[in-house]
Structure 1
Amino acid sequence: MTSNSEKNPFIQAVEFVLESRLGGVVINFVLIPLLVLSALLLPPISLADRLLSIGYSSIGTDGGAIRDPDGMQVTFLPEGVSRSFRVKLTAIPRSQFLEGAAGEALIPAAESIPPNLIMKSPYYRIQRKGTAPTKVMLSIPIPNESEPYQTLDLYSWNGDAWEWLPNRKIVTEDVIESELDFLPESVVVMQTHAVHPAVSTNYPPNTPLPENVRDALVEINPQGMFLDNAGAIIGEPAPLPPEAEAAAFSVIPTIRNWGDDGSIRSDLVDNMLIDPEARQRHVQALADIVQQNAYQGIDIDYRGISPDLKPEFTAFLNDLRAALPPTALLSVRVGLPAQISADTWDTGAYDWQAIGKVADIVKVPALPDPKAYTPGGQMDAMLDWAVGQVNRYKIQLLLNTHSIEQFNGITRNITYQQALEPLGTVTVVGGENIVGPGQTLDFTLAGLQASTGIQFDAASGTYWYAYLDGNNLQHTVYLENAASIARKLQYIAQYNLRGIAVQDLLSQSSDPEIWGVVRKFLDLVIPPVESQYSVVWRVKNQDGGVIAEEIADLSQPNYEWTAPEAGGSYEVEAAIATNRDANASIPRGSVALLVATPTPTPSPTPTPTPTPEATPTPEPTPTPKPQPKQEPAPQAQAQAAPPPSGVGNVPFGYGIQADPRGNTAANIGHIKALGFEWVKFQMPWKDVEPSPGGYSWGMWDELINAYNANGIKVMLSIPKAPDWARPPDDDKSVEGPPQDPNKYAEFVARVADRYRGKVQAIEVWNEQNLWYEAGGRGRINPGAYVQLLQAAYTAIKSVNPEMIVISGALTPAGNVGDLAMDDIEYLQQMYANGAKGYFDVLGAHPSGYNCPAMGDWQTVQDPTATNFRGPFENRHHSWCFRGTMEGYRNVMLANGDGGKSISPTEFGWAVSSNPQPGYEYALDNTYEEQAQWIVEAYQWAKQQGWVGPMFLWNLDYGVTAPGTELAAFGIINTPAYNALAAMPK
């Protein structure tokens, strides 16, 4: 039968091939092997990958670890593994690697090891297949014979160069650890060696730059540029003298947010960092300055940055690095870290590892405490940690030539010359400065007898001394001299750091011998320095010629001089020198002397006269030797009835409180610049009369005279009884009143009498409704305070009727058990106990917390105040400025005392990004709000007609007590300062 359709030709061809002998060969020897091979190569078997991954370990998303037999381990943390991968660890012996026997690919690595690095461990090669992990922990055994361990580092060869790795040495476990956000291709333990040290210093305007200094510096940082609002820059780098143009050092100007007086504008940095446009504007401005002036880089010195802005500051530095020319150096000063534990440090806003990656130079401040420099002390601990955070060859230790003074819980930097001032000035023993020929005079340094003399602490390499000031307060001075600098330079060699940055190295007020130590350091020579202090005495004639010179040990500083037969004017001067080097000494004053030679008068020729009989001369009656007369105390009465007359209604005035131990000249200038007329100081009674009848007026005389000479009125707040005057059973750990009010009355009367016409007002006590001003818990007593007020008022008026007497300002508070008494209730009880008539002005402390100046305490709201909610959720008058002022006014009116003024003797608003405990409300306030509210408070008060002198708290504690709660209220270099200066008066 014949088919009615033909087969497809393609099918026929396939059938022919399959049925033929050739087809069998193709199927058996081609197709089937190909299918088998594909099955082996493709997932899930993946034979090729398995063959190529022999020796690799698989790491899943749960993490894992690989370990070499000698103990080197790589751990992969689960949070850093997003997908499984394979990894292989190979330890190549050091000798094999260095000889080039580890394969051609690693020969460049062996040949590229820098001369300052010595390979100590095997070359640990790490190979990976798959997705890279992002959380890795390396643990490498510390190699044998690799001491000192603080010089060890970890490095990785990345195929092009050796890359430093952050690390931590755990000597007790004999390992070095490294936490990374990537997996390096290799790891090697290297022993570091010293490099030629880099020396840099800041350059203030118009400073001499001697040739020997120019030749030694590697880098100089001209000062003069400052961060301004919105990322702008004000000022210009100080121009270098013409002779410095040919110098070989790099010129890298500094940009700062702090002034020469130490005041820090952290708000300018914080605002710039949180504003992307301002940050980019600032980056571009810095890059333009570097490029347009052909500077070799830029030095960033921003302080007080909010720790919350650590990521933003790091981003700013990364942006700046990208904007700068590739050859420009980026230098960054980090903040002083705070030690949390033996090997943990808090760096605030400065991410040291991130900064170390982007910066070429990292300036690390040396610790300020001299005790930190004892062997194995805190400085060692800090540098042990620091060289694991930042490549040591980028670290410049930032030293300061300023000495340190500690007193009354305050630490401040002073120049070397200022540090030697308390050792005394030239004085003639006996006080004579007009002498006859041949008369012997004895000279000494007045003040030295009240000190311990200069002592040496061998452990820290520090010279120090202690002395008592005019108020019987102990001061301890640590001298920053050649010896202490030499001790600090030892750390550069000990840790193989990049070098040093010496602040104020060019200053004429530093120890002249420091520069000699630095020059020797350039040759990696750091000899121990011993500073033997002596007094260089010189006598000059009236032409200025030196006619005598003698050097005496400072411990026996007296100098004896015999006046010459030739009369005339002479000058005896003294200077303190080290190691008897008279050419490098610090002047300590001079005394002018007059050697009086009597001129003989010719006698006329005598005419002979009869000789009279001798008349007995009566013997003189001995005059009693005058006895020392005690300073008379004005008579003080405990209470007078009726009270003395007051001074009438005291008008409004602009005032501010300043630190009496601050910079007097600078503060007078500030107060005048503000257009203010009053200043307030707190004069603690216990400081001025530490023992009965033993008065220390010195500092106060000088201070009050200075302000009086500049036309500034002075108000003294006088609290804090000395222990000898207090009740035997009160709490001496806090402040408190005297047992006998008349003792206080006697003291304030003495103040009123002594400073008649120079001090215009006295405030009687301070915040007596608080337990720690009232003598302890349970001792708050309005009646007892009124007795003190009555006695003080009567005594003051008895010697100085014109003195304005202000009642002690209460602190705004509610009733808090035996700790505090509601201030309005306290004021009411003052009137009930007879306070009326015994003050001219009512004192007040209308604190603002985070309540606006014009806020009504009963209704005020601020949803942005997230750190402190007291004023908004716990209604009370004490939270708000007007609540306190108007509350007091109502009490005065109710007691028929509305004709008197209220004087805010302390008010203000705190601002801080890192407030002290109890001052958290400062986080909610901005510098702009502070400025606005202070101005509004002054303007409102002036309009009332019943507000007297008004004292802002405070002017300068941000300079004298940085980091404390006092500093949060300071206004120097803040918008508030500028706003008050511009405020119409």
Structure 2
Amino acid sequence: SSALEVVFPAGLVLQKDGSLLGTLADGITPAAGQSVMPVVRAPDPDGTSIVAAMLASPAARQQNLSGLRELAAKSSHQGVVLDYGLLQPAMRTEWSAFIRELATLLHAQQKQLGVVVPATAGADPNANGYDLRSIGTEADWVELQFKSGLLAADKAAIRQTINAAARASGRRHLRMQINFAGVELNAASVRAVPAAEALLWLSSNLLPAATSAPAIATSTKFTLSNPPGTDAHWGALSISYQAADGSNRTLLHTTTAALARQLQLAQQLQLGGVSVSGYFAAPAGGLAETLAQYRGMQDMPASTATIAWQVQQGANTILEMATALDQPFEWTPAEAGDYTVRAMLNIGTPLALGAVPVNVPAGAAATEVAQVAQVTPAMAARPIGPFELGGQVTHGGIAPADKMRASRMTWVKLQALPGYDMGAAIANAHAMGFKVLLSAVGDRSQPHLPAYHATFAAYVAALAAQGADAIEVWNEPNLDREWPTGKISTKSYTALLRAAYNSIKAANPNTLVISAAPSPTGFFGGCSSRGCDDAFWMAGIANAGAGNYLDCVGIHYNEGVVAPSAYGGGVDPRDDHYTRYFPGMIERYSAAFGGNRQVCFTELGYLSGEEWGYVPKHYLWKPPINNTVAEQALYLGEAVRLARSNSRVRMIMVFNVDFANYGDDPMAGYAIIRPDGSCPACGTLAASMQ
């Protein structure tokens, strides 16, 4: 697979006399550009005693060194990997000396040495026979192999052990092993479950079934016999069941979401890489794609597992629908007949779960509907546009145009208010070679009133007619500073958006309509008279049908104090709320519309108080200055690079380019043009747009 950089064929086992028994696994053909490093293992369960005997015998030790050197010397091999298992503390000195001697032999041949170190989450990896400081100095890399895999362990405990290992061996010398298999948990033990066994169990035990007798014009629900859930730590598929012996057990199985979280942890901890166990035994599909995204330093969307349902009549498929794991599938037969309802589990690769025959008997269909329930309109398709970059400036004269061009920006964002004619500013921007995004806000005392919607719609239509290339309809309407207290409503905003969208498209079909970016927050615990959490808000407008009245979903992200590649795992000094993280915002906002709408960052900025030496208390997230100017430049460049590789992101408007005021609202701290006139971010942005 092209998702891999190195292939590690196994099959050779250490013997007591130091020889290697067995043959390397065949059927694995490296792709172009991939290297091969055979793995040599100690036998199970006597590995510790076999390794001890080898180290104690000069002849056996020399035999092992010679065999490993000859194995690495083959032209098709880049080196070897030792996976000799758990060692006793008394073996540490001899084992370190053995590694030192082997590394010297291999490096003389321009070959590499990798060493697998067994680890237990939460425990010191140096507490057994491995001296990581010594091994990390001699070997090319050290790989931590957690007992029973990552799925069975708490993420915080994993992080603790990895950090302890990194302090000893060096972070860039350290790798983390990920297992594509699943695990089975019970009260007394943890058992690794090969992918093939897990998939067979899932396909045999998660069977579709109707919850009521089907009838014409009557909704019938279908569920799985044992509906799965999602593991809280990693996002793995989780199914609880009772085994034949009466014990309660839980099966955790790797999904694309679980894999993405594990890879993100490796990124956050700045490890030298990851190794994957069980790769060729598991279906590729989304898992391989996620690995390829990690290898290419791309965004790794943590796709949610779903159930795909089909209703077939004979050879014809009459209905297809995907549901969440815990959501039943509903079907209303229109006529009598014999049907088949099939279920498929999508966890990165589709897995058939079986089918249930359904007979819908003949009978009188309903001829009158007493009440029609309001249904969320289905979203029409929207074209996917190429990624573009811009920045927000103080006024339509666009004084920093040269630095914007140097940053490879092609858009400019301006604030529009009723009573101000934006025609001259739009024309000037076009003359200077920029497209124009207008953030349009009206009378903040009236947006909830249906009678005002026509007034506002006429205003934004006039902006479109003047040539605005994009219009963001309102600003942060989930807070009472932008919408009347007690009147904040997703349905009310969607009605305003609908009126604005229809008027804008009538005036200028080419104007991009962007929904108002809500303020990212988890303060309200849902929704109150003063405001709504942005997750609640996004779900609400999506359910109200907003997807039909927007071309792009607006996002604001201005509170970042960590690298854009980071996501969770305690990296942010505040907490792990998704709004702290660049990938979290993309994931949540895209998911609100089922991934069917691109997202537009109408504000994206990193606040640096470096020149002032402080940040106002309401904006202080990482004392004393949040970010250095160098970090601001680095993070903006990385955010753009990640966005360009993610088809879900349509544009980024950098907040901001040239604001100069620094007070209780420290807008100059966000500016990429710093107080001394320099623009470190101009270079990083330009590099990311090449």
User: What's the TM-score once normalised by structure 1's chain length?
Assistant: 0.33
* Greater RCO (CA < 8 Å, at least 6 residues apart): 2
Larger radius of gyration: 1
TM-score normalised by the chain length of structure 2: 0.46
